């Protein structure tokens, strides 16, 4: 019987509870494996005793990105890690959007401001500032040009903590058609969801946000599916991915653009898509025994 670790993090005031985790542990066990939820930073864990470690809800990784990627590399040397450590390292830094754009994938236009660089912010349109390493809209805020001073203070705070900032135009399509999340598992589309806008005007960057407002099931359009598949195909070195979530919004031309490509610890939204639970469990078991 294969031993499978479903990797999570310690609870905390800024960490959401993974309500899907106990459901998935039971489902994997029912599929024919020994499954357990394991903390990624628990020094007592023998990762080599598992046939497979699946990163599920390590939702504190963005505060400890270097430590987390070092753990992923060590874990990947001891057992099979999904997704692989080189994918984790690439995907924990949202400068990967530049790689996707270079590969011809339509993405939300993005600029980067590293510590020590001047605060070159837009003066003619609404925009979003957020860190290149982040989750759950942490340290993200939406600004108009007349809020320049506030945005600069956010940059100074982020730079002081070592974060590189990314600056994107506020995509107004979110207010009309929302953000669509296409979830792939075991190499094929699992399900899709849609949520509303996360960043309300005037919300402070350091205020906790509702990460998935108004979440509902969604049937992706052919254009959305094509864009998502192009994004996954553009991951460097064509690795074998157990899972991936592609978050899409509509650009000014009405066509889908990639907002984020989540290959580290995407929320699967299984409580919304309960019929997907057996398919996820079967894919996890296949990855452990294949």
The C-alpha atoms of residue 143 and residue 127 are separated, in whole angstroms, by: 5
**Strand runs labelled E in the chain:** 3-8, 34-39, 52-57, 80-82, 111-113, 127-131, 141-143, 165-169, 179-185, 188-195, 216-217, 243-250, 256-262
| Active-site entry in 224, 245, 257, 265 | 245
User: Is cis: bond before 105, omega within 30 of 0?
Assistant: no
Task: Assess whether 208 carries a catalytic annotation.
Answer: yes
Q: Is 34 a catalytic residue?
A: no
What CA–CA distance (Å, rounded) separates 43 from 49?
14
Which of 208, 216, 252, 255 does the annotation list as catalytic?
208
Contact 55, 23 (CB under 8 A): no
Distances (CA, A) of 182 to 132, 192, 230, 246: 21, 4, 12, 5
- 29, 73, 147, 262: which one is catalytic? 262
- What is the C-alpha separation between 142 and 167, in angstroms, rounded? 10
Reduced to 3 states (helix: H, G, I; strand: E, B; else coil), residue 211 is coil
Q: Nearest CA to 33 among 59, 9, 63, 3?
A: 3
Q: Is 188 a catalytic residue?
A: no
Task: Name every residue whose Cβ is closer than 8 Å to that of residue 244 and which is 6 or more positions away in sequence.
Answer: 83, 183, 184, 232, 261, 262, 263, 266
Which are the catalytic amino acids?
Answer: 208, 245, 262
């Amino acid at each position: 019987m294969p031993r499978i670790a479903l990797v999570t993090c310690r609870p905390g005031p800024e960490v959401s509870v993974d309500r899907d985790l106990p459901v998935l542990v039971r489902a994997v066990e029912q599929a024919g494996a020994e499954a357990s939820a394991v903390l990624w930073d628990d020094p007592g864990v023998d990762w080599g005793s598992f046939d497979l470690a699946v990163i599920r809800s390590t939702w504190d990784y963005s505060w400890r990105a270097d430590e987390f990627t070092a753990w992923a590399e060590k874990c990947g040397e001891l057992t099979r890690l999904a997704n692989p450590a080189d994918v984790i390292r690439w995907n924990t830094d949202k400068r990967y959007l530049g790689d996707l754009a270079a590969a011809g994938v339509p993405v939300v236009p993005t600029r980067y401001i590293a510590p020590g660089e001047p605060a070159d912010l837009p003066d003619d349109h609404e925009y979003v500032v957020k860190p290149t390493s982040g989750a759950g809209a942490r340290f993200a805020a939406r600004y108009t040009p007349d809020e320049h001073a506030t945005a600069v203070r956010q940059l100074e705070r982020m730079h002081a903590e070592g974060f590189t900032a990314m600056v994107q135009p506020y995509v107004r399509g979110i207010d009309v058609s929302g953000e669509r999340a296409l979830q792939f598992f075991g190499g094929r589309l699992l399900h899709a969801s849609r949520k509303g806008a996360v960043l309300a005007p005037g919300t402070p960057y350091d205020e906790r946000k509702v990460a998935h407002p108004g979440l509902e099931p969604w049937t992706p359009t052919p254009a959305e599916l094509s864009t998502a598949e192009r994004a996954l195909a553009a991951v460097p070195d064509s690795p074998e991915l157990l899972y991936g979530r592609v978050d899409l919004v509509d650009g000014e031309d009405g066509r889908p653009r990639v907002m984020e490509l989540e290959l580290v610890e995407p929320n699967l939204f299984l409580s919304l898509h309960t019929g997907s639970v057996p398919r996820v469990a079967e894919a996890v078991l296949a990855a452990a025994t294949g």
